[in-house]
Structure 1
Amino acid sequence: MSSSSPTSRRPAFRVGTGFDVHAFTEGDFVTMAGLRIPHSKGILAHSDGDVVIHALCDALLGALALGDIGRHFPPSDERWRGADSRQFLRHARSLMQEQGYTLGNADITVICEAPKVGPHVQAMREVLAEDLGVDIGQISVKATTTEKLGFCGRGEGIAAEAAVLIERL
């Protein structure tokens, strides 16, 4: 189906997945879902290194067949140095709306040994729901560890994965 197909011929539902990872560096907080979470380390990244939002953006862009976050906000572009990733998420939302879709639901998993995600889950869900213009019940955020295996287990970095279902308006 070409991109010029009528809206009525677009699929009623589309699915996307996303994954992001960043190494830890010196610092005293990490940004997750737009929130500054106290931590003994910071994130090494071009933007704010928000793995939650980056994975979610990739999932949304993938569902729309619009590439990945790096295509829309290249790390080689100095405009995005230290950027607040919430603007990336709002951009993905606008692209979704332009194509005639809305978010059905999003399921995000943060992968790290520390910091503890649980105490921040509700606030994360609130921020993401606000930026996406949806009910908080459409956003799931949870966490897991790698049982001290791999780079996350050794405390070298943090990762997140996201899955989304979008539906035609």
Structure 2
Amino acid sequence: MNIRIGFGIDFHQMVEGREFWLGGILIPHTKGALGHSDADVLLHAICDAMLGAACLGDIGVHFPDTDPSLKNIDSKILLKKSAELINKAGYSIGNIDSTLCLQAPKIKEYVPKMQQVIADILSLQITDVSIKATTTEKMGFVGREEGVVAYATILLQKI
């Protein structure tokens, strides 16, 4: 098939005392996402979407949280390595559409920088990386600021 669509989703708990990495940039906030890596939910969801579209498994297959060498790894590295895997499988990225679900902090002002970071890593135009954000209107674990969620959809094209 010449085009493939992938979907990724990631969740992380928000806790005091951690930096908040989102979309490859550090966001000022009183809480950060908890995880084995830097816990960047957006980059993790994009990795899963890429890998899934190419039928290469998921981020946990390639970068397991049981691997001590990946402890606190920068998720930008995981994104780059995921892109290398899909390129090796014969695919390139057409575009990415993503949504972040978080109650706080408001991230509108950070979106262009996130788009640029992701576009640069993946050799895309900034207009090929869509990032939207929403709250859950104070409902559920996201609304209580206990966690953050990211969804990503990707279009791959055969090289």
TM over 0.5: yes
Alignment partner of 1:119 is 2:135: no
**Residue in 1 aligned with 2:53?**
63
**Residue in 1 aligned with 2:33?**
43
Aligned counterpart in structure 1 of residue 13 of structure 2, from 19, 23, 45: 23
Matches within 5 A, 1:1-169: 11-27=1-17, 29-169=19-159
Structure 1: give runs of 5+ residues left out of the alignment.
Answer: 1-10
**Contact 2:99–2:131 (CA<8 Å) still a contact in 1?**
yes
**Residue in 2 aligned with 1:6?**
none
Kindly state the Cα deviation for residue 29 of structure 1 after the two structures are TM-superposed. Answer: 3.4
How much identity, in percent, do the aligned residues show?
A: 45
Once residues 133 and 18 of structure 2 are traced to their aligned partners in structure 1, the CA distance between those partners, rounded to angstroms, is: 20
The TM-score with structure 1 as length reference comes to 0.92
Structure 2: give runs of 5+ residues left out of the alignment.
Answer: none
The structure that has the greater radius of gyration is: 1
**50-59 or 22-31, which moves further after superposition?**
22-31
Once residues 70 and 28 of structure 1 are traced to their aligned partners in structure 2, the CA distance between those partners, rounded to angstroms, is: 22
Kindly state the Cα deviation for residue 28 of structure 1 after the two structures are TM-superposed. Answer: 5.9
Kindly state the Cα deviation for residue 124 of structure 1 after the two structures are TM-superposed. Answer: 0.2
Number of residues paired by the alignment? 159
Over 2 Å off, 4+ runs: none
The TM-score with structure 2 as length reference comes to 0.97
